[in-house]
Structure 1
Amino acid sequence: MNNLLHVVNISFVLPYFIGKQFLYFHQNGYNEYVICSPSDELLGFAQKYQFKYKEVDILRKISVGKDIRAIVSIMKYINQNHIDIVTGHTPKGALLAMVSAYIMQVPIRIYFRHGLVYETSKGVKRFLLMSMDRLAAKLATKIVCVSPSVCKRSIEDKLNPASKQVLLSKGTCNGIDISRFDRQNVQNEAVQDLKDKLGLPEKCFVIGFIGRLVRDKGIIELVQAFALLRQKFSDMRLLLVGMLEERDALPETIVEDIRKNPAIITTGYVQNSIIENYYALMDVFVLPSYREGFPTSVLEASSMGIPVITTKATGCIDSIIEEETGIFVPHDAGCFATAIETLYGNKDLRLQYGKNGRKLVEENYEQHIIWKEIEKLYIKTL
């Protein structure tokens, strides 16, 4: 029986990056462990997904003293539980995981590269972020890139040799639960209750976004595009599902625009377990992001039969088929407004994009397709 350790910095990512994958590998003979920063959610996740865990402070920012203490704690945990496989997720979690596993001579050290955080950084910060990524990659035995464009950019930026990289099917780290994210399986009563709770009119056109409300996600352009649209279409609503964050924070003027506009609905933090109900409210899904690894939200929206508007940024460029499942748009508020207006005025096109998107996810990103690829990677490496 193999002992598998996942290292992440925050528990929030566990349902997204791994989720039911825990149960799949548990049923296939793996003992699973997690190291993560302290969280009130960890116990519940551990009971639900059947893994053991240890809380260790893993900070996003560099803190030499705390980082060294975290490495020592991870090393001790590896030794105590006879860990055979270590997977590191998120830049900082992956770096500490790879350093610890390398020192402890764990035979299988897998770095999941969920994105390239340095893409929107400059100067010294960019250099440090790239150096951290290169070190994690050097100490790993394999690097899983979550999208073809992340693979391509990793080689262009000389983060590691191409021979070290793998892509799971056509991308993602965990795949999509196509049964859960299926409009036919969503409870209509729950969706109607949510609609009433959010104050959405019975007949309105909902532009949806799910993710962190920060600059890198293109929220500035989305809010500006919505302001242009509202001048022409009073029945439009913008539904922003996610939290405002201090890191990469939005300008105060945009935050005020969001708060003061009654046609913009914000939800704050939403539990992953009910997120499909929010997708069910949307007529179009928009992700104006400047960088992604592979945007799971786009695939979830497509699985729900929702047309998508996104950019050609890293990760995003792999998530739709242009003019089949959605529309690519440059980072410009006017262009986003035009694309949204096109779909607003053509219901048949929305339905066709949604139908094609569902098929794309079913054929390429269903969870078990990805899990089997991960299992082959573990077995092959062993």
Structure 2
Amino acid sequence: MNILHVVNVSFVLPYYLGKQIEYFQSKGDKIFIACSFSKELVDFCESKNVPFLPIPVVRGINPLMDIYALFKLFFFVRKHNISVVVGHTPKGGLLGMLVGSICGIKRKFYFRHGLMFETSRGFKRFILFQIERFTGFLADKVICVSSSILKNSNILKLSESHKNILLNCGTCNGIDALEKFNPDLANQDQVYQLRISLGIAENDFVVGFVGRLVNDKGISELVDAWKLLIKDFSKVKLLLVGPFEIRDGLSEACVRFIRDEISIIHIDYTNDPAVYYRLMNLFILPSYREGFPTVVLEASAMRLPVITTRKTGCVDSIIEDITGTFCEIEPRSICGAISKFISDKSKIESFGNFGRKRVLEDFSQEVIWNDLFKVYHS
């Protein structure tokens, strides 16, 4: 089959697809990608030997850009005889399902990576909700990336229940816990040198976060919790790995504190977070919403205990008191959850071991790819 993936930004390609491309190519399928243009898009597609179409997939509502992108997609689908269209994220999903419907394609799949309207208000929430429902209406199948996304899709009737499916235990691409996120394969010299360069002492307790530094991720509350924590603990570091973003951006005061506070270390975007997980003793994701937070599974694969929330997606990412613990998105709750691990480190090893075991058993990439191959070819 000729399979076209429509995504909004190239940043997500290693997470949504990655080695999945080689798996499908080995089965005889041909992969195509349509995405907003960037150097990363060109480099990724050339490295995977994947034909691509650069189009403006803008996040907001932009009729002229969207119509232009739709026309480009239409001719691309016709030219390459596309038989399967896969849409990712609300805008990529909408454009993908629209062009698939216009071209009469019978295999249209929408990956529901999250529910953006959950953290929106007023008219914006209404519009996002209706787009989600319309995209679900056009799709032949809606692949929900977590059990809570599946549950909410059915409760809110975002698409007909018979369309909504879950791949094994969730995620869109599984986790490479054998090679990429395997703590036993870490380069110890590299880890040591990185620790020295960042000023992290051997006896520092490092709390880590990986992801975009935005309000939806609970970063403001995490920073306020850190202000409380450093009053009681001195040998602690907060390692934030990810870029600041303008959209849903943090307040100037919050950004300033992150940059000025000596116990906080900020690393911008990296395509190799594995080495940073090796510096951490504890991982935290105090997010307001997720689809399925793969960073939690990456951390678990690296034998880290996890603190997260009971919000959509996050609630599926740990087993409470076995691989991690939950907190409220509130500074004192976050501070209290971190403090328990610092004061009593007895559960850190067991949580980490069970977390890695769970990732290997339930979220291996091969299991997800096999399920996905069956869905596309059914």
- TM bracket, shorter-chain basis: over 0.9
1:302-381 matches, within 5 Å, as 302-380=300-378
Asked if the contact 2:303–2:349 (Cα under 8 Å) also holds between the matched residues in 1, the reply is: yes
Of 79-88 and 220-229, deviating more is 220-229
Q: How far did residue 199 of structure 1 move? A: 2.2
Moved beyond 6 Å, runs of 4+: none
Secondary structure of 1:237's counterpart equals: strand
User: Equivalents in 2 of 1:133, 1:189: separation in Å?
Assistant: 47
Residue 190 of structure 1 is matched in structure 2 by 190
- How many residue pairs get aligned? The number is 377
Distance 1:291 1:46 in 2: 30
Gaps of 5+ in 1: none
* Residue in 2 that maps onto 1:247: 247
Structure 1 residues 107-126: aligned runs within 5 Å: 107-126=106-125
Alignment check: 8 A CA contact 2:137 2:159 kept: yes
Partners of 2:223 and 2:201 in 1: CA distance: 20
1:119 partner SS: helix
Q: Distance in 2 between matches of 1:171 and 1:35?
A: 24
Matched, 1:61 2:60: yes
Contact 2:221/2:329, CA 8 A, preserved across alignment: yes
Residue 203 of structure 1 and its aligned partner are, at CA, apart by 2.3
Residue 90 of structure 2 corresponds to which residue in structure 1?
91
Give the deviation of 1:364 after TM superposition.
0.2
- Secondary structure of the equivalent of 2:39? coil
Tell me the alpha carbon deviations over residues 165-224 of structure 1, each in whole angstroms, 9 at most, x when there is no partner: 000001000000011211101111111122222222232110000001011100011111
Matched residue of 2:165: which SS? strand
Aligned to 1:163, what secondary structure does the other structure show?
coil
Indicate conservation of the 8 Å contact 1:208/1:238, yes or no. Answer: yes
How large is the Cα RMSD of the aligned pairs?
0.9
TM-score by length of 1: 0.97
Give the letter aligned to residue 316 of structure 1: C
Q: Is the 8 A contact 1:311 1:328 kept in 2?
A: yes
Q: CA deviation at 1:102?
A: 0.6
Q: Deviations over 1:315-338 (max 9, x none)?
A: 000000000000011111111111
Kindly, what percent of the aligned residue pairs are identical?
Answer: 45
AA aligned to 2:372 is I
Name 2:273's counterpart in structure 1.
Answer: 275
What is the rounded CA distance, in whole Å, between the counterparts of 2:345 and 2:41 in structure 1?
Answer: 43
What secondary structure, in the 3-state scheme, does the structure 1 residue paired with 2:162 have? helix
Identify the residue that residue 226 of structure 1 maps to in structure 2. 226
| DSSP-derived class of the 2:273 partner | helix
Deviation at 1:98, TM superposition (A): 0.5
**Aligned partner of 1:287 among 268, 285, 288:** 285
Instruction: State the alpha-carbon separation in 2 of the partners of residues 46 and 70 from structure 1.
Output: 19
Amino acid at match of 1:267: I
Task: Kindly indicate whether the alpha-carbon contact (under 8 Å) linking 2:223 and 2:254 is maintained by their aligned counterparts in 1.
Answer: yes
Equivalent in the alignment of 2:80: 81
Q: Equivalent residue for 1:209?
A: 209
The TM-score, its normalising length taken from structure 2, stands at 0.98
CA distance in 1: counterparts of 2:130 and 2:190, whole angstroms: 47
